[in-house]
């Protein structure tokens, strides 16, 4: 399990422009997660398509990417993923993923709560895939045990 992925609907609270949308959603998530003990870097442009928040707590590091859904004004894509995933050689050298599936699920659950409270709706969540099918859940799925 490497990432929690979601699609959802709703108007962006404070659009900062038409070229790259989503920064106000990123700021909204940052404001909600910060009181939960997360240190949050400023929202940064992600591939000229959306915004990324890098969040940290103790030894956990992850990123939250928010981008508009292509060709849909009020539909959004969200991905919550570790900031670092080691390759084969890194794993052989003892490096580990920077956020566990349980930590990703925790942030996904909190993020959905904040976004729902802000009026966003019709969420589809899944692990490690584009969240746009009927098999997706309306809540972030827990990692398998």
In terms of Cβ atoms closer than 10 Å to its own Cβ (0-12, 13-18, 19+), residue 125 is buried
Taking only the tens place, the pLDDT of each residue in 40-77 is: 998 888 777 889 999 999 999 999 999 999 888 899 99
The token pair at 49 is 């398509």
Domains of the chain plus CATH, in order, are: 4-127 (3.30.310)
Taking only the tens place, the pLDDT of each residue in 94-125 is: 888 899 999 999 999 999 999 999 999 999 99
Contact 139/127 with Cβ under 8 angstroms?
Answer: no
The token pair at 87 is 């390759």
């Amino acid at each position: 399990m490497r990432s929690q992925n979601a699609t959802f609907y709703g108007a962006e609270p404070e659009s900062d422009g038409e070229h790259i949308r989503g920064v106000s959603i990123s700021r909204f998530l940052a404001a909600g997660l910060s009181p939960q003990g997360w240190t949050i870097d400023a929202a940064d442009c992600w591939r000229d398509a959306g915004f990324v928040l890098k969040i940290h707590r103790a030894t956990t590091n992850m990123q939250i990417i928010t981008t508009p859904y292509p060709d849909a004004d009020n539909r959004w894509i969200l991905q919550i993923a570790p900031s670092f995933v080691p390759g084969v050689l890194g794993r052989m050298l003892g490096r580990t993923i920077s956020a566990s599936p349980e930590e990703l699920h925790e942030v996904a659950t909190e993020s959905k709560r904040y976004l729902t409270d802000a009026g966003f709706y019709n969420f589809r969540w899944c692990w490690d895939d584009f969240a746009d099918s009927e098999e997706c859940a309306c809540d972030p799925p827990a990692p398998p045990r």
